[in-house]
Each structure stands twice: as structure tokens, then as C-alpha cells.
């Protein structure tokens, strides 16, 4: 099939470069995420989804309703419910009934959960720093500026360095 007349050779080359960039971003993201998952498992006996839930709750000390938490993480209520149950068993999260709504609960980090998350977040930041250590400060800044032009999900980006969830199952 021939290309439409409106596509010039330069456009074709740019398109190929975009595809290469996408594949490199995907490979890099998968590699970094895999390394973070493994380190969380080995050092803290936890998972990235649990870390993501705790990160979301750490940004809301007053707690979140389960549906609010699901929306923040962009996952189903069912996914969050199982993770919350395990975090409650570990003593890191507590459920609080919402007055006037017997079906809804608010979840928040316990003091132990806050302390545990703080330790995990510090390690996570160190690991990310280590994984990107081949980039200079200037290169990192430049890449951040370039990536700011790429499409992202609607809404403001989280300010927190602990935020890692990217829309798939936590």
C-alpha cells in the first residue's frame, strides 16, 4: 500500500523515530518497574501495588473512601479491596466506618503504616536515583522538560516522588 501524498519522507522518518522512542520508553519503564518490584519484595516483603496504595494514602492523612482510592489509582474497587485487606492484616491501614453510610468506609494509614511507608519511600527514592544515576542533573532536567510535551492523563501530576502508579492494576 502506498503512502498518501501528504506524507513526506521527513514525516516518515519522524514517525519511525517516534516509534523507536515509544519502544525505548516502554522497555525502560518495564525494566525500572521490574527492578523496583524486586527490591520492594526483597527489602520490605511487599509489592508495588501495596506501595502504590500506601503512597496514595500517605498523601491523604485524613484517609480516603475506597472509591476515591480506586479513582486515584485508576483501578477497580475489587483490586483495591484485596490490597487494603492485606494492609489491614499487617496493621498498616485501618478502616473507619463513615457515619450515615453503612456501606462506605474510609481507609487511612496507621501510625505503624506511616512509619513503614516512610522507610519504603526513602528506599524507593534512593533506588530510582540509583537506577537513573547514569544521567547528569542537567540531562535529567532536560529530559523532564522534553517529556512535559508528551500527552499524559487528564489532571495535574502528583507532586509526590512516591507516586508510581501508571493506571494498570496497582
| Cβ contact 85:91 at 8 Å | no
How many distinct structural domains can be found in the chain? 1
Distance between first and last Cα of the chain: 42
Per the CB < 8 A criterion, the answer to whether 94 and 107 are in contact is yes
d(CA 32, CA 21): 16
For residue 2, is it within any domain? no
In a domain, 159, yes or no: no
In a domain, residue 70? The reply is yes
Mean of the pLDDT values across residues 157-164? 44
The average confidence (pLDDT) of the chain is 87
DSSP state of 95: E
Asked if residues 83 and 53 have their Cβ atoms less than 8 Å apart, the reply is yes
Secondary structure letter of residue 45 according to DSSP? S
Whichever domain contains 98, its CATH number is: 1.10.10.10
Beta strands 93-98 and 101-109, pairing class: antiparallel
- For residue range 73-93, what is the model confidence (pLDDT) as tens digits? 999 888 899 999 999 999 999
pLDDT in tens, 139-154: 999 999 999 998 887 5
Tell me which residue range forms the domain holding 69. Answer: 9-147
29-77 pLDDT, tens digit per residue, is 999 999 999 999 999 999 999 999 999 999 999 999 999 999 999 998 8
Amino acid at each position: 500500500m502506498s503512502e498518501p501524498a501528504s506524507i513526506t519522507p521527513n514525516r516518515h522518518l519522524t514517525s519511525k523515530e517516534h516509534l523507536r522512542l515509544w519502544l525505548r520508553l516502554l522497555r525502560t519503564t518495564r525494566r525500572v518497574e521490574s527492578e523496583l518490584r524486586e527490591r520492594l519484595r526483597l527489602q520490605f516483603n511487599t509489592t508495588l501495588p501495596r506501595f502504590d496504595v500506601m503512597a496514595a494514602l500517605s498523601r491523604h492523612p485524613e484517609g480516603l473512601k475506597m472509591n476515591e482510592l480506586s479513582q486515584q489509582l485508576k483501578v477497580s474497587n475489587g483490586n483495591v479491596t484485596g490490597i487494603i485487606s492485606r494492609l489491614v492484616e499487617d496493621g498498616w491501614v485501618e478502616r473507619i466506618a463513615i457515619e450515615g453510610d453503612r456501606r462506605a468506609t474510609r481507609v487511612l494509614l496507621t501510625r505503624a503504616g506511616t512509619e513503614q511507608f516512610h522507610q519504603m519511600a526513602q528506599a524507593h527514592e534512593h533506588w530510582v536515583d540509583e537506577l537513573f544515576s547514569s544521567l547528569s542533573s542537567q540531562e535529567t532536567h532536560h529530559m523532564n522538560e522534553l517529556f512535559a510535551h508528551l500527552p499524559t492523563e487528564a489532571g495535574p501530576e502528583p507532586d509526590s516522588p512516591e507516586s508510581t502508579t501508571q493506571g494498570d492494576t496497582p
